[in-house]
Amino acid sequence: MSEINLLKTDNRGRVTLPPAFRKEPLFEYVIEGEQTILYPVRTVRKYPDLSDLPGENLPPAWEQKEQKVNKDTRKGIRAASASDALKRLGK
């Protein structure tokens, strides 16, 4: 019989993962009855099948608005908070 490990919660109700899972950034989970099964995921590998959706043509005015918005080529700003981003933007 396989070993049974229980996940415990801390005093705030958060689940503490076993050491082998703590550095995993992404999990897939399945809920079966009262149990939750976690699977570590290295990449997002499931995409919905969109092949049966009809194509949509946008009106010309809408396309022009989208082109104005999407042609912005400014560099991104790396910052830990919004105030840090404003400081870096000002420099």
Look at residue 14 and tell me if it is in a domain.
Answer: yes
Phi then psi for 32, rounded to 5 degrees?
A: -125, 105
Look at residue 84 and tell me if it is in a domain.
Answer: no
Query: How many distinct structural domains can be found in the chain?
Result: 1
For 31, the domain range is: 8-40
Question: What rounded mean pLDDT belongs to the chain?
Answer: 79
Q: What percent of the chain has pLDDT over 70?
A: 86
Look at residue 52 and tell me if it is in a domain.
Answer: no
Residue 59 vs residues 3, 62, 63, 67, 70: alpha-carbon distances, Å: 60, 5, 6, 13, 16
pTM over 0.85: no
What pLDDT is recorded for position 61?
92
Look at residue 17 and tell me if it is in a domain.
Answer: yes
Residues listed for the chain? 91
